[in-house]
Amino acid sequence: MNYQAIFKWIIALCVMATTSVYAAIEVRITDGIDEALPIMIAPFAGDAQAAKIIEADFDRSGRFTLIDPAKAGQRLELGKPFNLEVLRRSGADYVVVGTQTDTLTVELINTASGERVAGYRIPPHPNRRRMAHKAADLLFEKMIGIRGAFDTKIAYVVANGVAGNQTFQLMVADADGYNPQVVMQSNKPILSPAWSPDARFLAYSSFEKDHSAVFIQDLRSGDKRVLLLYEGTNGAPAWSPDGSQLAISLTDEDNTDIYVVNVRNGAIKRVTQDRAIDTEPAWASNNTIIYTSDQGGKPQLYQTTVGGGDGQRITFQGDYNAAPSIVKNKIGMVRSLGAGFKIAIMNASSKESATVSKGGSDESPSLAPNGAMVVYATRAGGREQLAVSSDNGKSRQFLPIQGGSARDPAWSPYLP
């Protein structure tokens, strides 16, 4: 399949017929987890839901093996004594105990020493699930040494209805898919939402003006404005790390190139200048952009500077690599090795990479702000869904998204 066909297919995907509304999908693990840290989350006093949320967060990360609390052989409570020898027989290296009333309090116990190695108090919050996610972030960082990214958001697009009578919703939900909120709704396709670095704005492309345009939506005020409305296709917006610019893909006279647009005044500058299809830009730094191009015959990832110049190819494994998502030294992408499309993650320095999904039509990867997980769109059970994989490929789960056809996920940066 050539890249021109893929590009047209992505656009067509937004206007194709979709299935009717379906019920929430249960979050589930689709692969085993080996060589992970054994941990037990004991039932919390007060609100038992918090412990279940933390457990689900850890499950999704691919870093832990969850030990059944029934194996503790005793009741474990915050601040209460426990039988260490019996607890060790459970196989858990760490145990989390806690209580939630208005405040959520958690402690982490090392079963080798019996020491309470960390304790955290999460203040009250209207979204009680966020309190548990915040606790999971702190515990994750203590044990793994990587900042947690459970208390973040995802944006995505839901299409409902049948061809000719569809509605499209731009959604924002917690990173685990819960607490979904409609940001805006249109009867015209919405594509490629992208978060600003401060998590206040979403850029996206849409046909609301009966022509493709790039919009910026203020998530606080609800206001939106058109940033770019040129003849041709205006799409795939990506924020610069400092939030001052958007890289976009613009088709001008049947040629698709990467441009950079000043967010404040709309000033536009062309970055790539070749006869290939250059699209799907992502910022590696304030001066470097990685993008998809078929200049070598098939889609691969290339790197260039904002100042322009010839792109340098950076992917060589697989006959198709596209849709880059970048966090620090990791690059998520869609890869084909000749049979279907999967999500891969590459180390930008070593160029070593591995696939982390197992679907046949996976697309639109977006890395978590710590690079430890990736959300992507996939097709399973005859419908389009969102899934999350850990960067080590040990855990893969579907998110509980309600509505029609879910696509184009974007993981937020860390929240203020």
H/E run at residue 51:
helix 49-61
Task: Evaluate if residue 3 carries a pLDDT over 50.
Answer: no
Cα separation, 52 vs 175, whole angstroms = 15
Q: What is the pLDDT of residue 359?
A: 85
Task: Evaluate if residue 338 carries a pLDDT over 50.
Answer: yes
Relative orientation angle of helices 128-144 and 49-61, to the nearest 10 degrees? 50
Per-residue confidence band for 58, with pLDDT thresholds at 50, 70 and 90: very high
Better-scored residue on pLDDT, 356 or 22? 356
Q: What is the pLDDT of residue 341?
A: 95
Q: What is the pLDDT of residue 6?
A: 38
Through-space distance between the first and last CA atoms of the chain, rounded to whole angstroms: 43
Question: Please, which residues bridge with residue 170 across strands?
Answer: 157, 184
Q: What is the pLDDT of residue 18?
A: 31
Cα separation, 193 vs 205, whole angstroms = 7
| Backbone dihedral angles phi then psi of residue 61, each to the nearest 5 degrees | -75, -20
Task: Evaluate if residue 293 carries a pLDDT over 70.
Answer: yes
pTM of the model: 0.91
What six digits make up the tokens of 6?
A: 């893929």
Contact between 77 and 102 (Cβ < 8 Å): no
Cα separation, 398 vs 400, whole angstroms = 7
**Per-residue pLDDT tens for 250-261?**
988 778 999 999
Where do we find the tokens 């098939």?
Answer: 298
Q: What is the pLDDT of residue 33?
A: 44
Cα separation, 230 vs 223, whole angstroms = 21
| Mean model confidence pLDDT for the chain | 89
Q: What is the pLDDT of residue 310?
A: 84
Cα separation, 280 vs 276, whole angstroms = 13
Better-scored residue on pLDDT, 134 or 23? 134
Distance, CA of 33 to chain centre:
21
Question: Please, which residues bridge with residue 216 across strands?
Answer: 203, 225
The closest of 316, 355, 351 to 334, measured between CA atoms, is 355
Helix, strand and coil content of the chain, in percent to the nearest 5, comes to 10, 45, 45
Cβ-proximal residues to 49 (8 Å cutoff; 6+ apart), any chain: 100, 128, 129, 132
**Per-residue pLDDT tens for 346-367?**
999 999 999 999 888 999 999 9
Task: Give me the mean pLDDT over the 97-105 stretch.
Answer: 96
The closest of 64, 59, 53, 67 to 29, measured between CA atoms, is 59
**Per-residue pLDDT tens for 158-175?**
999 887 788 999 999 999
Where do we find the tokens 């296709």?
Answer: 233
The closest of 367, 338, 322 to 10, measured between CA atoms, is 322
Cα separation, 400 vs 154, whole angstroms = 12
Contact between 301 and 312 (Cβ < 8 Å): no
| Backbone dihedral angles phi then psi of residue 112, each to the nearest 5 degrees | -70, -40
**Per-residue pLDDT tens for 115-158?**
999 999 999 999 999 999 999 999 999 999 999 999 999 999 99
Q: What is the pLDDT of residue 14?
A: 34
Better-scored residue on pLDDT, 35 or 12? 35
Strands 64-66 and 37-41: parallel
Q: What is the pLDDT of residue 77?
A: 93
Q: What is the pLDDT of residue 41?
A: 98
